[in-house]
Amino acid sequence: MTDAEIDALAREILTSTVHDVLEWNPDIPHHVLRLPDGELRPVFATVSYVFEFMPLAMIKAIIAECEKILDEFVLSLEEQKNLSKHNKRVLKSTYKQGRARTIKRMAENTSLHLIGFFDSRLHDLLDDAFEDSKVVAGTYLRVTFAKLLDPYAPEPVKIDARKGIDHAAKRVADKKRKFLRDSIEFLPFLTTHRGRGAPRKSPLAREQARQDFTAQIEATYRKLRAATGESPSKRKVAKELGIGGVNPRTGTDSILSTFNIKLRRLGIDYKAIAAKLDSEGEQ
């Protein structure tokens, strides 16, 4: 999109978004300024602040970012090895026909989220500033006492501020996680809560992982065979791949067991791979 097209779309989205937000909650924003060129600027106010939000430039940046996200997403699909040529043609045709509409929908939803929740973000910002001030105040208090005690201490007095900093960081991270989850969890086909263990891979991701690991095994097998002139053992291949290891305390060797578990999980037939590579070497 050209700069002029992005500017026109951003103004259209800004106007419709502010209208939707006011319909959703007439009290937020508390006031809307209209500039001579038609640009809207929501104003948020409490007893603690008056904030004039100028989202037009940000919406322009959002549109440009939506273009990039969409193009990279389609490109990643086109590069999938297990996607047929027919499906790739359909994908490319659909993408070209609906690109502008998709970008607009992406930017509309993002802008609605940006402006509609801006008031709550400001409240969170002030809350975080207040909580951080408590951390700083407590730290100054401890440092003051440390300075008083330092002349009488047998060793230099040090105050450990890491716990307070880690607690503050966790507080912000937990709040951000809940905010984003609450904002999008109503969407279909979406998982927002992570269960125990590693997240489940999609069939497409599992197939890609299987192909990648198979390629690593074949390359390692060929490398070891070229170095020794003999077919390498399964354990040597696993060790070269950096899988498993020997426990220095117990002496337990987990190389083969870990390798076998990964092979089963990815559905890879190691014997078939070795037989294929050995037949290549005999030719």
Q: Taking the complete model, does pTM exceed 0.75, yes or no?
A: no
pLDDT tier at 60, thresholds 50, 70, 90: very high
Do you find a cis peptide bond into 188, omega within 30 degrees of 0?
no
Residue 193 pLDDT exceeds 90: no
One-letter amino acid for residue 185 of the chain? E
Per residue in 3-30, is it b (16+ CB within 10 Å) or e — as a string? Answer: eeebeebbbebbeebbeebeeeeeebbe
pLDDT tier at 47, thresholds 50, 70, 90: confident
Q: How far is CA 167 from the centre of its chain?
A: 22
pLDDT of amino acid 248: 64
pLDDT of amino acid 123: 86
Q: Calculate the average pLDDT of the chain.
A: 86
Give the per-residue SS3 of the chain: CCHHHHHHHHHHHHHHHHHHHHHHCCCCCCEEEECCCCCEEEEEECCCCEEECCCHHHHHHHHHHHHHHHHHHHHHHHCCCCCCHHHHHHHHHHHHHHHHHHHHHHHHHHHHHHHHCHHHHHHHHHHHHHHHHHHHHHHHHHHHHHHHHHHHCCCCCCCCCHHHHHHHHHHHHHHHHHHHHHHHCCCCCCCCCCCCCCCCCCHHHHHHHHHHHHHHHHHHHHHHHHHHCCCCCHHHHHHHCCCCCECCCCCCECHHHHHHHHHHHHCCCHHHHHHHHHHHHHC
- Among 98, 79, 97, CA closest to 88: 79
72 Cβ contact partners less than 8 Å away, ≥ 6 residues apart: none
Torsion angles phi and psi, residue 173, rounded to 5: -65, -45
Question: What are the sequence ranges of the domains in the chain?
Answer: 3-116, 121-184, 203-282
pLDDT tier at 136, thresholds 50, 70, 90: very high
d(C-alpha 146, C-alpha 155), whole Å: 12
Mean pLDDT in residue range 169-185: 87
Q: How many other C-beta atoms are found inside a 10 Å radius of the C-beta of residue 266? A: 15
pLDDT of amino acid 34: 94
| pLDDT tens per residue, range 220-272 | 999 999 898 889 999 899 989 988 777 666 667 788 888 888 898 889 999 99
Length of the chain: 283
- Burial grade of 238 (CB within 10 A; 0-12, 13-18, 19 or more): buried
Residue 115 pLDDT exceeds 70: yes
- Among 175, 157, 173, 163, CA closest to 138: 163
